[in-house]
Structure 1
Amino acid sequence: MVRGNDDDALAWGGDDDPTLDVGATTDPDAAPAALPEGYSAVGKGSENVGRIRQDGSVAMPGERAPMGNALLITLGIIGGIYLLYAIGWLIGGLRLQGQAAYLVTDVMYQGSFWLAVLAPPLWFATVFLLTIGSKPWVRVVWLVAGVALLLPWPFVLIGAVGR
């Protein structure tokens, strides 16, 4: 197809470059601006440009990818450990209740007891909420650190039956 002379004055070499189409449309029903891999948008509106995935779908900025199966299983296992830790703090703390009466008042013991029981679920929820926008490995590292820090020592040392 041969263009006319009027069209030649409005054309420039490289007009088909997809990076030039950033923010060109004002139609709200139009498809979102997206670039294939290897291209980067610059200028006004470049932060709203998505990426075209290999399967043809468009990933927009701020759009989170769903969690993978391995991460879901890891979160389930660590969540189960935290639940067992809360139960361990409950059992271990109840076993120590009679012996702690010689060291601290009952009010102080009850406050610290319930704080210890609630610490594992609170740590899990806090890490989960504060690491929503970060990489999955960051969330797993903080959860594993909590597994090491929140070990229910009364249950580990005395056990469920005691001596």
Structure 2
Amino acid sequence: MTEAFVQVNQVRHALTETTRRTNLLQLLRNDLQLNGPKYGCGLGECGSCTVWVDGVAARACVIPAHGVAGRSITTLEGLPALHAQAGQLHPVQQAFVDAQAAQCGYCLNGMVMMAAALLARNPNPSEADVRRELSGNLCRCGTHLEIIQAVLLAAERMGQPT
């Protein structure tokens, strides 16, 4: 049997027999000690576990770990490496800080990952585009307005020449 691998935040990891029986979220949090993706509902409905699989936002709690063999996973911890300015937060992360768009922070992983995915596809979204993109992510603290402002701020900053 050929050994399976997954690339997480640009680092290659072997999928062992143990990890082949778990979901991607368990692999990331328990085996790789990455705490960006959160366990929320376990059903793929709340968005707190959102990661990118080959650049596409996906819910890690419902993806079998063996289902991502040979694929590239990006977590919240890996976003800064995708930005041109090494050592800095990704512009979406920085905009969330600047706009004070977090209260409890539990939804933050999903909101940031979905927002960054949106801006990768659509660098100049409208407020309606942002609302639509984030509509599947649950936030119980009521920071929706700040979150939307943060995404629009990130879009503005990312559109400016550096």
TM over 0.5: no
- TM-score, normalised with respect to structure 1: 0.23
- TM-score, normalised with respect to structure 2: 0.23
Structure in which a larger fraction of residues adopt strand:
2
